[in-house]
Amino acid sequence: MIGTRWSERTNLTMLTDFYELTMSKGYLDHDQAERLAYFDLFFRSVPEGGGYAIIAGLEQMIDYLKTLKFTEDDLEYLVSVHHFDDRFIDYLRHFKFSCDVWAIAEGTPIFPHEPIVKVRGPIIQAQMIETMLLVTINHQSLIATKTSRIVRSARGRPVLEFGSRRAQGYDAAVLGARAAYIAGAAGTSCTICGQHFGIPVLGTMAHSWVQAFDEEFEAFSAYARSFPDSTVLLVDTYNVLTSGVPNAIRVAKEVLEPMGKKLKGIRIDSGDLTYLSCAARSMLDKAGLPEVKITASNALDEYLIRDLILQGAAIDSFGVGERLITSRAEPVFGGVYKLSAIEKDGQVIPKMKFSENPGKITNPCNKDVWRFYDQATGKAIADLITLTGEEIDETKPYEIFDPLHTWKRKTLTHFRVRRLLEPIFVGGKLVYRRQSIDDIRRYCQTETDSLWESVRRFENPQDYYVDLSQELWEIKDAMLHQNKSLI
């Protein structure tokens, strides 16, 4: 049924690293179970050296958090592998999610080190959900980010997601296709993804269809008679220019036109795509078929698509498979989930991870994230991480500064500002108004367009600043100086 929640197919409560459970028992043993903690989910670098990423996976995160519940089978298994005591097992038996959760809306361009999901709640609960939040947000954000690059390289030509058979498992195929659609893909070949999410599904024939008939013309004719309103023919089984395209033209003239129908397109899946597409275009035009579209596939990515267009290829749309659905060039989105504060006697105590690697030092405290836009151009200027409770007055100048190179400062005027983290759960209750996938897709396009082209380029993009407010920076700086021996 269209709209069925993919994540509700099964109970995913046990999809957690085992140390989340051992820590949970320790918290319970030491009377820390209900201590309120804050965790941030963020990432440290954009894949492939890009200038921005796209967040995706929020809907599946919501589905997971709504259905958290340990079954008796789960508890029996845990006892069998680790001999957890009765007190802990009873705690899990009555486990009920009650955290507050904030997140940046799906489809939003995001940047390193800013919280994209924030969790506040009893430390056992906030800790236990780490693994599933990371695998959900990391995977779909990776594929959405890769797709955004590919779609931009196509310069308005449709990009079709063709990667199911190359995905790292069936969940990756389905949810990867979903993320690709959010980031701008025109549709998917993954039928079940269309069924569950209402995404357009596309597909025609394989080479085996052509090979199954005695002659290529016979194969094309049979397909055209079965699908006269949507005939797209795969023309590279034998020879594109001496066989495939001539037979496609013959089908258009001898089979479809007598039926009052038109050939919709051809697809080329091998060879020199620039040369073959241009030659095919010339042949189709000379045959009086200028409306026939040409689709190209075959191990494409943003760089190959960009080169094809620069070379003048006569390609109207692109089918992209393995290099999209696996983000082959860099198949990891490095999201992490770190403790940022603890509440004690009603006071928020900042926590920070220290490291000899400056890039791994985290930002402490309960925080908000803001985006500044230039009022004249509508373009995003910078993001700012503040303490929760800080406010920004759009009517007054605001100074931002690089938190590592503090002498780099800029005073912003004539801006509008938007708080990015939105409440998703309050006390374990869903308060977020869920969006349709088409609304998310349109929002993603609008927000991506708000980035300067220099931030969106593939090579050496301009750094987009994510700064700390003065108050937050002072707290972090004081904590660093208090722990000089650790840095």
> If pLDDT is split at 50, 70 and 90, which confidence band does 357 have?
confident
Helical axes 18-29 vs 86-93, angle rounded to 10°: 110
Residue 196 has pLDDT above 80, yes or no: yes
Where does residue 262 rank: exposed (0-12), middle (13-18), buried (19+ CB within 10 A)? middle
Element containing residue 472 per DSSP (H, E):
helix 470-482
The whole-number pLDDT of residue 174 equals 97
Residue 274 has pLDDT above 60, yes or no: yes
Identify the CA nearest to 465 among candidates 384, 366, 363, 370. 384
Instruction: Please state, in angstroms and rounded to a whole number, the distance separating the CA atoms of residues 60 and 65.
Output: 9
Q: Using one digit for the tens of pLDDT, what is the confidence trace for 83-134? A: 899 999 999 999 999 999 999 999 999 999 999 999 999 999 999 999 999 9
Q: Using one digit for the tens of pLDDT, what is the confidence trace for 282-318? A: 999 999 999 999 999 999 999 999 999 999 999 999 9
Q: Which two tokens stand for residue 212?
A: 């199954």
- Is 317 in contact with 153 (CB distance < 8 Å)? no
Phi, psi (rounded to 5 degrees) for 427: 60, 35
The edge-to-edge listing of strands for the beta sheet with 367-374 is 415-419, 367-374, 380-387, 466-468
Q: Which two tokens stand for residue 61?
A: 């995160």
| Percent of the chain clearing pLDDT 70 (strictly above) | 97
**Any idea what DSSP says for residue 188?**
E
Q: Which two tokens stand for residue 25?
A: 């028992």
Residue 260 has pLDDT above 50, yes or no: yes
Q: Using one digit for the tens of pLDDT, what is the confidence trace for 399-445? A: 999 998 899 999 999 999 999 999 999 999 999 999 999 999 999 99
> If pLDDT is split at 50, 70 and 90, which confidence band does 487 have?
very low
Residue 1 has pLDDT above 50, yes or no: no
Coil, strand or helix at 71: coil
Place of tokens 């929640």: 5
> If pLDDT is split at 50, 70 and 90, which confidence band does 355 have?
confident
6-143+331-486 matches 150-325 in fold: no
| Residue 405: CA count within 13 A, CB half-sphere | 4
Q: What is the CATH number of domain 6-143+331-486?
A: 3.20.140.10
> If pLDDT is split at 50, 70 and 90, which confidence band does 388 have?
very high
The whole-number pLDDT of residue 377 equals 97
Q: Using one digit for the tens of pLDDT, what is the confidence trace for 201-259? A: 999 999 999 999 999 999 999 999 999 999 999 999 999 999 999 999 999 999 999 99
Topology of domain 150-325 in CATH is TIM Barrel (3.20.20)
Mean residue pLDDT across the chain: 95
> How confident is the model over 1-18, as a mean pLDDT?
73
- For residue 374, list its beta bridge partners: 415
**How many other C-beta atoms can be found within 10 angstroms of the C-beta atom of residue 202?**
20
Domain boundaries, the chain: 6-143+331-486, 150-325
Instruction: Please state, in angstroms and rounded to a whole number, the distance separating the CA atoms of residues 236 and 229.
Output: 22
The whole-number pLDDT of residue 358 equals 81
Sign of the C-alpha dihedral computed for residues 165, 169, 173 and 174 taken in this order? positive
Parallel, antiparallel, or unpaired for β 53-54 and 347-350?
unpaired
